[in-house]
Amino acid sequence: MRVSEHLPKLAATAKHLGVIRGMTSREGEHGRATQLLHTGQLPGGPVDYPALGSMVAKHLGDPDHDLPGYVTVNPSTFGGGVIGAGFLGPQYAPMAVSGISDNPNARADLTIDDLKPAGPVAASDVDARRQLLAGLQGDFEKRHGGAAAKAHAASYRKAQRMIDNPGPRRLPAGRGAGQAPRRLRPHPLRPGLPARPPAGRARCLVRRGQPRRLGHARPELDQVKTLSQTLDPAFATLLSDLKDRGRLDDTLVVWMGEFGRTPAINNVAGRDHFPAAWSTVLAGGGVKGGQVIGGTSKDGMTVADRPVSVADFLATVFTAVGVDPKTENKTWDGRPIALVKGGSPIEGLVE
């Protein structure tokens, strides 16, 4: 397996990586391609499709867990921001931790505001207010019913548990950077960077039993080396730490973008959107690592061996985590929609 010279630490973990070099689609616009990779569906039409994270949260999440079933850290703004739960309802929507806050410390650490109980309110008063709210919600549900009322009540109960449990108040980090293993702490010579890159926060969320997705960067030619120096230790440390803690075998790490970049350099020393032939990586639970699936032509312009569609890729992800990609969800009006429209798991990649 050949790995870029800018990713030496990741190369050392190659035995865990399933590299898919035959990805191909027709969508080269950020919004449409992002929607396709996260839902398996293109935008448009009457149905609001759920994100991959929401679908996993519905079929694998624990509704009684203190943390939401789907957390997205520093989500991309391409395509209009976070892709939500669609017709699955708000109880499966992602909690977006973006660092957008009036609190400068929250911006730096990507913590979440308003999870601490109001100081002046006595515990007995909090309980009384919650009982009043529960009574109003119960009365409304009896008289009007409906999935929306149940989803709202479930979401509110989840928020209450997060406030009551002090652990999730720093969701992305799980615990203070000074308490983390030394290799996971901020570099003293790079104080301007967030305490941990998204992959580092993902590691702590996984430690708490939290499914999530990883963000991805879109480097241009002159940024590849710089961004790789951030990606390489973060991704490699995430994998090695999961392995050390015995969690890699039951945690699937998905590394993907919405398309690739042209093999040829353009006239402004960059690369253009290129969905015809690109790569994704799977690692961890359910994946037979240490192999490359497919390949491009010598000039990188086409997939020459084992093309993989977006539907195939998503079917592989669901199969790896133990969910049948043909499983159907129901829309608000009872319309059955499979998790993946067409597509088959990549042969030889999933255990």
For residue 227, what pLDDT is reported? Answer: 85
The CA distances from residue 281 to 63, 164, 181, 292, in Å, are: 29, 38, 26, 9
219 DSSP assignment: -
With tokens 């909690």, the residue in question is 95
What DSSP state is assigned to residue 298? Answer: T
The H or E element containing residue 19 is: strand 17-23
Domain range list for the chain: 8-90+197-338
Which segments of the chain have a pLDDT < 50? 78-80, 168-180, 183, 185-196, 211-219
Strands 291-293 and 336-338: unpaired
Query: What pLDDT, on a 0 to 100 scale, did the predictor assign at position 186?
Result: 47
* Six-digit token string for 238: 């995430």
pLDDT, residue 208, reads 55
Residue with tokens 């448009």: 44
**Which residues, in sequence order, are bridge partners of residue 97?**
73
pLDDT confidence of residue 49: 95
Q: Can you name the residues that pair with 282 across neighbouring β-strands?
A: 18, 254
In the structure encoding, which two tokens stand for residue 229, read together?
């120096």
Quick one: which of 334, 33, 316, 133 has its CA closest to 325?
316
Residue 111: the pLDDT is 63
Our measurement of the distance from residue 209's CA atom to the centroid of its chain's CA atoms, rounded to an integer in Å, reads 14
- Would strands 17-23 and 291-293 be described as parallel, antiparallel, or unpaired? parallel
CA distances for 26 relative to 37, 84, 215, 266, 310, angstroms: 12, 23, 22, 20, 10
Give the pLDDT score at 198: 53
The model's pLDDT over 115-146, given as tens digits with 9 standing for 90+, comes to: 666 677 788 888 898 899 889 988 888 888 77
**For 126, phi and psi rounded to 5 degrees?**
-60, -45
Question: Which of 37-53 are b and which e, b meaning 16 or more Cβ less than 10 Å from the residue's Cβ?
Answer: bbbbbeeeeeebbbbbb
- Sign of the Cα torsion 338, 340, 343, 344 reads negative
pLDDT in tens, 270-322: 889 999 999 999 999 889 999 999 999 999 999 999 999 999 999 999 999 99
